[in-house]
Amino acid sequence: MLAEARRQRILELVRQQGFATLEELVEGLGVSESTVRRDLEALDLAGAVKRTHGGAVYAGEVRGLPALDDRAGTAAEEKRAIGRVVAGLLAEGSTVLLDGGTTTLEVARALVGRSLQVVTNSLPIAQLLAPQKDIDLILIGGYVYPRTGVALGPIAIACMEALRVDVVVMGAGGVVADGIYNSNSILVETERQMMRCGQRVMLAVDHTKFGRRSLTRLCGLEEVHQMVVDDGIGADDRAMLEAAGVEVTLAETGVREKPAPVRSRS
């Protein structure tokens, strides 16, 4: 296979998964490890992929995942209210796995002063909770996405394989009738492992995420035990969750329930 065709194949494999390990690429192309390394270096220089320890991540995926600061101002009051409610639902002494994100960061803020064990893949959350003497903190390693401070990918997944926690708390990029979506395939693969770690899966989601799809489907609604959402949620969205067996807990913000816009549920 000519170098150009081989590099296009590598790029396609990385693009499909968001991330590919060196071993996967060697096996997929049937060439030597040194050849794949040279091809990845060329693709990295061209800006098509970003090399990481043990593989490569698709550069388009990096640009597609919004930075933490870019999302922090969206529904800020609702996220703070959701964070307080989620924190109140977590029992003293329990073990909780917090996904990275602006809403879960608000959960972490509300946990300051509490006595828990917190596992997270988020550098901002770890930085916030590390000085807290009553919180035992476990930081998941992995490839840290630029400008998000969240560790993702095969290394993060491997770190979590032996972990078991009481509750997993995650955010979402979109919630529709056929499930929960998020903005990045490598993020979703990491979150699927998070879900496998928990006895209970809780989503912390503001009302603006309903009726929206993002890039990749994470799971069905029936795989979520509980969802904490602000009181701006529409009646039909709440009914959709409850019909799927999701326990819905409202975070009061002063935003009154309003009719949801007409949209497809497919």
* pLDDT tens for each residue of the chain, 266 residues long: 677 778 888 888 887 777 788 888 998 898 999 999 988 888 887 677 888 877 888 776 444 455 555 555 567 899 999 999 999 999 999 999 999 999 999 999 999 999 999 999 999 999 999 999 999 999 999 888 776 789 988 889 999 999 999 999 999 999 999 999 987 778 899 999 999 999 999 999 999 999 988 778 999 999 999 999 999 999 999 999 999 999 999 999 865 444 444 454 44
Same fold, 3-64 and 68-251: no
Q: Which amino acid is at 245?
A: G
Domain spanning 3-64: which CATH class is it, in words?
mainly alpha
Q: What is the pLDDT of residue 71?
A: 52
**pTM beyond 0.85:** no
Q: What is the pLDDT of residue 68?
A: 53
Q: Give the position of tokens 């329990």.
A: 94
Q: What is the pLDDT of residue 242?
A: 97
Domain map (residue ranges) of the chain: 3-64, 68-251
> Is there a contact between 161 and 188 (Cβ–Cβ < 8 Å)?
no
Q: What is the pLDDT of residue 254?
A: 67
Query: Apex CA 221: angle with CA 18 and CA 144, to 5°?
Result: 30
Distance, in Å, from the CA atom of 192 to the CA atom of 173, rounded to the nearest integer, reads 14
Q: What is the pLDDT of residue 261?
A: 46
- Residues near 220 by Cβ (< 8 Å), separated by ≥ 6? 178, 179, 180, 244
- Among residues 199, 204, 243, which one has the least CA distance to residue 221? 243
Q: What is the pLDDT of residue 61?
A: 47
- Residues near 58 by Cβ (< 8 Å), separated by ≥ 6? 11, 14, 15, 17, 18, 19, 48, 49, 50
Give domain 68-251's CATH architecture.
3-Layer(aba) Sandwich (3.40)
> Is there a contact between 104 and 170 (Cβ–Cβ < 8 Å)?
yes
> Is there a contact between 59 and 81 (Cβ–Cβ < 8 Å)?
no
